[in-house]
């Protein structure tokens, strides 16, 4: 079964850090670009970051550039998002998704990140 | 970069057709044939319904179709069914390895 499972979310204080993980199974993880997409409570989807299949190139939304770092471990079939200097406006469900033809093909169930004092 | 513009809501009766628009600019929707559409039921993860403007992934009913004209893309749902009631989001490649979503449209089946 093709599956993405996120973990690592939780409650963190403003200015703090958190590392999200996304475990992939049922497909050849190393062949796919991967993305993080977030959704604030009651709001729409927002693209956050992308990494190429071999991890050689990354890109970020302006709102997280310089604070978030995307990475991957193809041997372990895992995607990561290191989030530093967290702000209240980063509060959201964070989804990982496979990238295929500039679309987000397979989605995980999401992990909730809450930034609050 | 501002989000793509979608109507907040749309509705139709069972069996009818409804079209949801998604307006961007020549830098995103109008510049690339990489518009995709997602269905999201409450509390669930989004699901890819349309990619590359009008292509359907395996398993998506052919009641769902997509098109594009200039800077506006559209998703049409024909033969509306109760299970089609959900939020729908468009997305477009925006160049320079960036992607952008629309604000979402809540589809109600009357």
- Residues of chain A in contact with residue B1, where contact means CB-CB under 8 angstroms, are 62
The shortest C-alpha distance from A55 to chain B (Å) reads 14
Asked if residue B1 has pLDDT above 90, the reply is no
Chain A positions in Cβ-Cβ contact with residue B47 (cut-off 8 Å): 107
| Cα B104 from chain centre | 8
pLDDT (tens digit per residue) in B44-66: 999 999 999 999 999 999 999 99
Query: What distance in Å separates residue A117's CA from the closest CA in chain B?
Result: 26
In order of A66, B34, B43, B98, the CA distances from B40 in angstroms are 30, 20, 8, 22
Interface size, chain A vs chain B, as Cβ–Cβ contacts under 8 Å: 65
- Compare all CA atoms of chain A with the CA of B1 and give the residue at the minimum distance: A62
Give how far B55 is from chain A: nearest CA, Å: 11
pLDDT value of residue B2: 82
Q: Are B86 and B31 in contact (CB under 8 A)?
A: no
Residues of B in contact with A62 (CB under 8 A): 1
Under a CB-based contact definition with an 8 Å cutoff, are residues A15 and A78 in contact? no
φ, ψ (nearest 5 deg) of residue A31:
-95, -10
SS3 of residue A84 by DSSP: coil
Quick check: B91 and A105 CB within 8 A? no
Output the pLDDT for position B68. 98
User: Could you tell me what percentage of chain A is helix, strand and coil, using 3-state DSSP and rounding each to the nearest 5?
Assistant: 5, 55, 40
The answer to whether B36 contacts A57, with C-beta atoms less than 8 Å apart, is no
Percent of chain B with pLDDT over 70: 99
Give the chain B residue nearest A100 (alpha carbons): B51
Is the pLDDT confidence value at A101 over 90? no
Cα separation, A77 vs A53, in Å, equals: 11
Q: CB A45 to CB B47 under 8 A?
A: no
For residue A114, pLDDT over 80 is answered with: yes
By Cβ distance, the residue of B45, B46, B97 closest to A50 is B97
- Compute the average pLDDT of residues B74-81: 98
């Amino acid at each position: 079964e093709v599956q993405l499972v996120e973990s690592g979310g939780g409650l963190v204080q403003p200015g703090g850090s958190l590392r999200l993980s996304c475990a992939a199974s049922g497909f050849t993880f190393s062949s796919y670009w991967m993305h993080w997409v977030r959704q604030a409570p009651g709001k729409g989807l927002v693209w956050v970051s992308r990494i190429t299949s071999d991890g050689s190139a990354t890109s970020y939304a302006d709102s997280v550039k310089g604070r978030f770092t995307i990475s991957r471990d193809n041997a372990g079939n895992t995607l990561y998002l290191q989030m530093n200097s967290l702000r209240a406006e980063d509060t959201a469900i964070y989804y990982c998704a496979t990238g295929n033809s500039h679309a987000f093909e397979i989605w995980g169930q999401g992990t909730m990140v809450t930034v609050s004092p | 970069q501002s989000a793509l513009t979608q109507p907040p809501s749309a509705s139709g009766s069972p069996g009818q057709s409804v079209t949801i628009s998604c307006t961007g600019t020549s830098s995103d929707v109008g510049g690339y044939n990489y518009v995709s559409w997602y269905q999201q039921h409450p509390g669930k993860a989004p699901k890819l319904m349309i990619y590359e403007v009008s292509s359907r992934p395996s398993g998506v009913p052919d009641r769902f179709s997509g098109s594009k004209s200039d800077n506006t893309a559209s998703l049409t749902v024909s033969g509306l069914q109760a299970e089609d009631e959900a939020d729908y989001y468009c997305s477009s490649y925006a160049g320079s390895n960036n992607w952008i979503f629309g604000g979402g449209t809540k589809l109600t089946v009357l």
